[in-house]
Amino acid sequence: MTATSTTLRGTLLLDEPMARHTSWRVGGPAARFYQPADVEDLAMYMRQLPKGEAVYWVGLGSNLLVRDGGFNGSLICTSGVMNRLAYLADDVVEVEAGVACPKVARQCAKRGLVGAEFLSGIPGTMGGALAMNAGAFGGETWEIVKSVITIDHAGVLRERRPQEYEIGYRHVKGPQGEWFVSAQLQLAKGDSESALEKIKQLLAKRGASQPTQQPNAGSVFRNPAGDYAARLIEASGLKGTCIGGACVSDKHANFIVNTGTATAEDIENLINKVAATVKAQHRIELQREVCIVGEILHEGDKQ
């Protein structure tokens, strides 16, 4: 169902199935799913939200599990709408939250800017990359961040610097109740051909080692200090383990794939089983990299 407004210019969908918007292809309905026309429209939407409305942001849905009972609040989708990429100086690029990370890598490389090639291995948008300090192939998002623009529940925009955040491995902590709208990236001048070749090699490496042909959400767990989550999961004999239509990938043990019939419940149960097994066998508590939101679907609500 699509609702229209005399003031809002974006698209508001009610009870929108999140299986359409997550890379695992599962998830119940979002009470409100909003795609803003631009930053100004987003600010207007935020100002109109009921006080206390739960808000969550989604880009490509590549690091997100929405439970089968859905999300009783507003899911704001930036993918495909907040996708401005602009060159502000010889070595500074401004990107909005909805720009796909691989696009940032390619466009910067074509321009002869280096330092963002690792973003080609992150299957999400810049908003998500900023929120979790996403990384790949030895690079991390906040290593190249010069400044960010955030928005709060009241629609107020603020410019902030990296020094205002606590930044670590797959971890970003900053002012409460603010979300990332855009970022300025500080890169370096370099050779375009070499940068594009590096991206090509990184993508080939990713395709060879990850189950890119099956619905997944990337790495499920963070790597513990001095070790790898995939090694621990494989050493626990969990490769190929399934619950319903969700399976630990045979190609990469830190990936859970939807074989076609998985529910969000299957995936969450498998995540919990993997974590419990690794803890029991290795006395290491794996930390989730994937975000889980929404309500559990109770037996009486299942079809």
- Compute CA 15 distance to the chain's CA centroid, rounded to the nearest angstrom: 21
Q: CB atoms < 10 A from the CB of 89, how many?
A: 10
Give the CA angle between residues 99, 74, 153 to the nearest 5°.
Answer: 80
Cα separation, 80 vs 35, in Å, equals 9
Whose structure tokens read 């600010």? 43
Question: Which residues face 89 on adjacent strands?
Answer: 92
Among the listed residues 67, 170, 182, 236, the single catalytic one is 170
CB-neighbour burial class of residue 92 (10 A; exposed 0-12, middle 13-18, buried 19+): middle
Q: Is 219 a catalytic residue?
A: yes
Whose structure tokens read 């066998």? 281
Contact 122, 199 (CB under 8 A): no
Between strands 92-96 and 171-173, the pairing is unpaired
Cα separation, 110 vs 105, in Å, equals 9
Give the CA angle between residues 68, 129, 191 to the nearest 5°.
Answer: 140
Among the listed residues 219, 236, 265, 268, the single catalytic one is 219
Cα separation, 255 vs 200, in Å, equals 22
Among the listed residues 16, 96, 140, 289, the single catalytic one is 289
Q: What is the H or E stretch that residue 39 is in?
A: helix 39-48
Q: Is 289 a catalytic residue?
A: yes
Q: What are phi and psi of 219, to 5 degrees?
A: -65, 125
Give the CA angle between residues 133, 66, 150 to the nearest 5°.
Answer: 40
Q: Which residues are catalytic?
A: 170, 219, 289
